[in-house]
C-alpha cells in the first residue's frame, strides 16, 4: 500500500432544515391555528481514530466530504428529520490543521478518539412556536442555519517510541528487520526506503516498544532536501533516537564523526525539540574491519567530551552488539528498567530471618 502522510481536504457539515409555515385544517376544528414543524439539524462531521489504519491514502483522491442536511419541517406539527453525521476515519498520530492559517486544531492519537471537526447547522423553528395571545396566526418561520465549512490539512506523524535516523544506506532497514518482524525493502542504493517502516520490538520477553525506520536524511533535510520535511515530521513524536552511523565504505569525504554532526545539525535546525531528545549513537557494519576501526575512533573522540557519550558497535549481519543496544534503549524508555541476568527465573522468596 502506498504511504500517504499529508493530504488537504474540504469538509462541509449539513445545513439545518427550514421551519415550516402551515395551518391545522382538520374537519370540525375551527380556527385550527399554526401547525408548522421545526426543521431538522444538519449532520456533524467527526474524525475518528482507527488503529487499523496506517496511512491517509483514503483521502488522497476523495477531497470533498459533506454531511447530510436536515429536512424541512412539515405540517401537522411534524418536525424534519436530522441529517446523519459523517465520520471520517484516520490513523493514530493524525494532526489536523487549518489550511488557511496553519494552526493546529487537534492532535488525534488515542484509538477510538472522536472529534467533531465541523458542526452541523441548527434547524429553524416552525410557525407553531411563534403563536402568542396577540399573534395567533404567525405567517413566518425560522430558516435553518448553514453547517460549518472548512479546508483542512491532515498530517500523519508516526507514533513510535524509538526513531532510527541516519544517512541513506547506514543500515536502518537492516537493523529494524533484525530486531523486529518488520520486513522493509533492503538494497544497496541510496533512498531504498521511501516510507517509514514500523516494527514492534520485544525486549527480553518483559516489555515491548515500537521502532520506526526513518528514511535516510541528508544535509539540507531541514529545508526539504531529499524530502527531509516528510521524513523529519515522523521523528518529532519519538521518545528516543537511535542515530546510525555507517562505519564501512562511506562516500569520499565522509567519515562517522562528520556524518554524526551533519545529521545532528539538521535535527536542530528543523526543531529545537529534536535536538534535545535522548540519542543513542550506533556505528553499524562492524563485521567489516575498517568499520570496527572507525567505530573505535569515534568512541574515543566522543568519550573525551565534557559529557561523555557511549558509542555502540553493532553488526546486523552477525548480531554483535544488538542485545546491548536494545538494553540501552530500554533503559532510556523505561528509566529504571535493568537488564535481566541470564538464567534468572522466578523471583526468589526473601530468606527467613534466623531466630
Report pLDDT digits (tens) over 237-279: 788 999 999 887 666 677 888 888 888 888 888 888 888 889 9
Which domains, ranges and CATH numbers included, belong to the chain? 1-156 (2.70.210.12), 162-334 (3.40.50.300)
- Give the global pTM: 0.66
Residue 252 DSSP one-character state: T
172 annotated to bind ligand: yes
193 annotated to bind ligand: yes
286 annotated to bind ligand: yes
- Nearest CA-CA partner of 235 in 159, 174, 326: 159
285 annotated to bind ligand: yes
111 annotated to bind ligand: no
58 annotated to bind ligand: no
Predicted confidence band of residue 165 (pLDDT cuts 50, 70, 90): confident
Residue 94 DSSP one-character state: E
345 annotated to bind ligand: no
Residue 209 to residue 195: CA distance in whole angstroms: 20
Q: What residues have CB less than 8 Å from 188, skipping those under 6 apart? A: 169
Tens of pLDDT along 189-223? 444 445 677 788 888 877 888 888 877 565 554 44
191 annotated to bind ligand: yes
Tens of pLDDT along 301-346? 888 887 788 899 999 889 999 999 999 999 998 874 444 444 333 3
107 annotated to bind ligand: no
Amino acid at each position: 500500500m502506498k504511504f500517504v502522510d499529508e493530504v488537504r481536504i474540504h469538509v462541509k457539515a449539513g445545513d439545518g432544515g427550514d421551519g415550516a409555515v402551515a395551518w391545522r385544517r382538520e374537519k370540525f376544528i375551527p380556527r385550527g391555528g399554526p401547525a408548522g414543524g421545526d426543521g431538522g439539524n444538519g449532520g456533524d462531521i467527526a474524525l475518528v481514530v482507527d488503529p487499523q489504519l496506517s496511512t491517509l491514502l483514503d483521502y488522497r483522491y476523495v477531497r470533498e466530504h459533506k454531511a447530510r442536511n436536515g429536512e424541512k419541517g412539515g405540517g401537522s406539527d411534524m418536525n424534519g428529520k436530522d441529517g446523519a453525521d459523517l465520520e471520517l476515519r484516520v490513523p493514530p498520530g493524525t494532526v489536523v490543521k487549518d489550511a488557511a492559517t496553519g494552526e493546529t486544531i487537534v492532535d488525534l492519537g488515542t484509538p477510538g478518539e472522536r472529534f467533531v471537526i465541523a458542526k452541523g447547522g441548527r434547524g429553524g423553528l416552525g410557525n407553531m412556536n411563534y403563536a402568542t395571545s396577540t399573534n395567533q396566526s404567525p405567517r413566518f418561520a425560522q430558516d435553518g442555519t448553514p453547517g460549518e465549512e472548512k479546508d483542512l490539512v491532515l498530517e500523519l506523524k508516526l507514533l513510535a517510541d524509538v526513531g532510527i535516523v541516519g544517512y541513506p544506506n547506514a543500515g536502518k532497514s537492516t537493523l529494524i528487520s533484525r530486531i523486529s518482524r518488520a520486513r522493509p525493502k533492503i538494497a544497496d542504493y541510496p533512498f531504498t526506503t521511501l516510507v517509514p517502516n514500523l516494527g514492534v520490538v520485544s525486549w527480553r520477553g518483559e516489555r515491548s516498544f515500537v521502532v520506526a525506520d526513518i528514511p535516510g536524511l541528508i544535509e539540507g533535510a531541514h529545508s526539504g532536501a531529499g524530502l527531509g520535511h516528510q521524513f523529519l515530521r515522523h521523528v518529532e513524536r519519538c521518545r528516543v533516537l537511535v542515530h546510525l552511523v555507517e562505519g564501512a565504505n562511506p562516500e569520499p569525504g565522509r567519515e562517522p564523526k562528520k556524518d554524526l554532526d551533519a545529521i545532528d545539525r539538521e535535527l536542530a535546525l528543523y526543531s529545537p525539540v529534536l535536538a534535545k531528545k535522548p540519542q543513542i549513537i550506533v556505528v553499524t557494519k562492524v563485521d567489516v574491519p575498517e568499520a570496527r576501526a572507525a567505530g573505535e575512533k569515534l568512541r574515543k573522540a566522543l568519550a573525551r567530551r565534557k559529557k561523555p557519550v557511549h558509542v555502540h558497535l553493532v553488526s546486523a549481519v552477525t548480531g554483535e552488539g544488538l542485545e546491548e543496544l536494545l538494553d540501552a534503549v530500554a533503559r532510556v524508555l523505561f528509566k529504571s528498567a535493568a537488564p535481566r541476568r541470564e538464567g534468572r527465573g522466578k523471583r526468589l522468596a526473601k530468606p527467613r530471618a534466623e531466630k
